Structure 1
Amino acid sequence: MSLPNADKCEKVVQALNRTEQFSKLFDELERCREVEQKQKIEELNGLINEMDEEEFLTVFTIELFDTIYRMIEKKTLSLESATLLLKHVGYNKELKMIDLGSFDYSLLSERMKEMIIDENEKKKEEMNEKRLIDLCECYLLLNRWPSSEMDSIYVPCLLKVALKKDETEEAQKEVEMALLALGNIGYWV
């Protein structure tokens, strides 16, 4: 028979292990090639799935988002790899109903807004539609107060994804992500 305090101690140790593992893997991202980064991001995403609210808030701080911003700007983390991680963070934030305000005040939040506007203003043949979708999803899933001035960008972009008729598992996951992101528009107004 285990004691209640022993169970509590074990959970605290597991939480420390997850947050320490996350920090260690995250620190290694900068020194990896893109293929290795994606593998590490898969591991990070697995840890995120296991985190409770306290662990989540401990890991996802303004400093972490600012570090991701700097890594993207220095090109030590590709935008594609960053969005794989950030979409997963936002998805888990929503599923676990965690009030994560740190992203709103980070350098990354403002930069993502700029990237969305820049990508949207490109001519049709120059625009990377997947990048725009990923950026919109990340921004909306992570931000508690998304900029309503940009609704004219988010809504058509994500509705296009949500209206896909493709029934593959991957397409359905994209639709789910788009709908989840759309659900955050005007949520806190």
Structure 2
Amino acid sequence: MIPQQGVILYGPPAAGKDTVTAALTKLDGRYGQFARLKIGSGKNAGYRMGTSEHLRNLEAVGDVVYANSRYGNTYVIDRPGVDAAFAAGVPVVHLGQIDGIRAVVDGYLADWAVVLLWCPREVTEQRSGARGDSDTVARLAAWEATRKDLDAHPDTGWDLAVDTTVTSPAESARLIDQLLVQRAGMRRHD
């Protein structure tokens, strides 16, 4: 059986994860952003909001694939949520931690294409300001944490790396889609 395909987009805040995901969805409606479970407050668009009790219940049955805390909230990639995302098509998971990539790749059986989206710190600052983020300082701290994460894990094997300051969202989406098509073709011939 050919494993289902998913995409992991890794990169600092404002590297273009949302924008590239929107371009992927426009290119092919099977792509869809995985809505992480968010325990906390603030922005709820693009998330499934949950409670601490919900998180404890998921943990109790081993259904937390990965969880991290940032911006005063907890963000969860949960097995039932990933199951539902695969049932709907090709999930696109956004991550900012290499530990999260490893947890998803090792903890949920699928053919995950791991893509690095990158932009310099000053671009994160400009994009964050332009979109009206009220927490740009925290996003710049997250950019620094992402840079340190990359430096600490030089052995991370990217299936594709994209500099979003020189590659358009549409071209990034085309490259990602092409990668998945190629991988599916290789699996059929193995």
Q: TM-score, normalised by structure 2?
A: 0.30
Looking at secondary structure, tell me which structure has more helix per residue: 1
Structure with higher Rg: it is 1
More contact order relative to length (CA 8 Å, sep ≥ 6): 2
Q: TM-score, normalised by structure 1?
A: 0.30
